[in-house]
Amino acid sequence: MADRYLSFTGTGPGRFLTRRLGLPQPAPLIRFSPEHPALDGDVLLLTAGKSGLDLSAAVPASADSSRRAAAAVLDATGVRDTDGLADVHAALHPALRTITAGGRVIVLGAPLDAADHHQAAAQQALEGFTRSLGKEIGRGRTVNLVRLTDPAAAASTLRFLLSPKSAYVSGQVIEVGAGALTAPDDPDHPLAGRTALVTGGARGIGEAVAATLARDGARVVVLDVPQAEADARRVAERLGGSALALDITAVDAGDRIAAALPDGLDVLVHNAGITRDRRLVNMDAGRWSQVLDVNLASVLRTTDALLTSGALHPGGRIVATASIAGLAGNAGQTNYGASKAGIVGLVRSLAPRALAEHGVTVNAVAPGFIETRMTAAVPLFIREAGRRMNSLAQGGLPVDVAETTAWFAHPGSGAVNGQVVRVCGQSLLGA
8 A C-beta contact, residue 78 and residue 52: yes
Q: Which of 52, 58, 126 is nearest to 88 (CA)?
A: 126
Q: Which of 111, 109, 58 is nearest to 84 (CA)?
A: 109
DSSP letter assigned to residue 396? B
Computed on alpha carbons and rounded to an integer, the radius of gyration of the chain in Å comes to 21
Q: Tell me which of 32, 168, 336, 407 is the catalytic residue.
A: 336
User: How far lies 155's CA from each of 5, 61, 148, 298, 399, in Å?
Assistant: 37, 13, 11, 33, 22
The vertex-270 CA angle with 189 and 405, nearest 5°, equals 35
Collect all residues with Cβ–Cβ distance below 8 Å to 387 and sequence separation of at least 6.
Answer: 3, 5, 369, 393, 394, 395
8 A C-beta contact, residue 149 and residue 109: no
Q: Residue 77 and residue 91: Cα distance in Å, rounded?
A: 14
Upper half-sphere CA count for residue 60 (Cβ side, 13 Å): 9
Q: Specify the amino acid at residue 40.
A: D
Verify whether residue 5 is a known catalytic residue.
no
Active site residues: 336
